[in-house]
Structure 1
Amino acid sequence: MRTAYDVVKAHYDANDRRDMDGMLADIAPDCRWTEMAGFPCAGTYVGRDEIFRNVFLALGEMFDAYSFKLERLLDAGEDVVAIGVYNGTNKRTGKDFTARVVHVWGVAGDKIRRFEQFTDTWRVVESMH
């Protein structure tokens, strides 16, 4: 069985390939995915369909070249912490942004059970105005 670190690393590897199916592959049906208050798609979404629609699809509709660049991935047993940077260009305003970000993942039974994002929401929202 893969470790939690392996499961999360596979998600980021799929992200680097722009492979949405790969990014969603290990998300449990009851996964609770939380985007930080103040972020454009803030909220907690449960399961692949809600996560895809309210996070990945929503961000793609708002931003061109939206990306996450992983800098460090920290193994904490069933929890994994990712540190990196978001970048993108708002489609409506044409303004770019860069924001530091931390993702905290919870993995059990070879599936992602929870995700929580911590980021500088102001940098992202500022690009929208």
Structure 2
Amino acid sequence: MPTNKEIIEAHYAGFVEGDFAAVMAPFADDIVWTEADGFPLAGTYVGPQAVAENVFAALQRDWDGYALVVDEVLQDGDTVVAVGTYSGTYKATGRDFSARVVHVWRLRDGMAVKFEQVTDTAMVNAAID
């Protein structure tokens, strides 16, 4: 059985490989996904479908080349933390950005039940305004 760290690493690898099934695979049916206050998609979404529609689809709709480069993934029991950098170009303005980010994951029985994003929203919003 993979470790919690490996489960989340496989989630991120799914984005790189264009494998949406792998992206969604670790999500519990009742995952609680929180985008940071001040982030363009700020809010809390419950369930994989809500995350897919309100986060992943919205990022594709509004941004060109939106990406996350993960530098490090750390595990402490059921908590996994990923540290990296977001980047992309906002379609409406043509401005790009780069911002550091931390994702905090909580897993139960190998499934992600909670996600929280912490990022420099000022850097993201500078591309939008």
Q: Structure 1 length normalisation: TM-score?
A: 0.97
Instruction: Read off the aligned partner of 2:74 and give its amino acid letter.
Output: L
Secondary structure at the counterpart of residue 127 of structure 1? helix
| Percent pairwise identity | 43
CA shift, 1:2, in A, is: 2.3
Aligned residue for 1:18? 18
Q: Give me the TM-score of the superposition, normalised by structure 2.
A: 0.97
Q: Which residue number corresponds to residue 5 of structure 1? A: 5
Once residues 58 and 16 of structure 1 are traced to their aligned partners in structure 2, the CA distance between those partners, rounded to angstroms, is: 18
Matched, 1:81 2:72: no
**Structure 1 spans left out of the alignment, 5+ residues:** none
Query: What residue in structure 2 maps to residue 126 of structure 1?
Result: 126
What is the one-letter code of the residue matched to 1:40? P
Aligned equivalent of 1:53:
53
Q: One-letter code of the match for 2:120?
A: D
CA deviation after TM superposition for structure 1 residue 18, in Å: 2.2
Q: Deviations over 1:82-110 (max 9, x none)?
A: 00000000001000000000000011111
Runs of 4+ residues over 6 Å off in structure 1: none
Instruction: Give the alignment's Cα RMSD to 1 decimal.
Output: 0.8
- Matched position secondary structure for 1:16: helix
- Aligned partners of 1:105 and 1:18: how far apart in 2? 21
Paired residues, number: 129
Residue number in structure 2 paired with 1:40: 40
Distance in 2 between the 1:107 and 1:75 partners?
Answer: 10
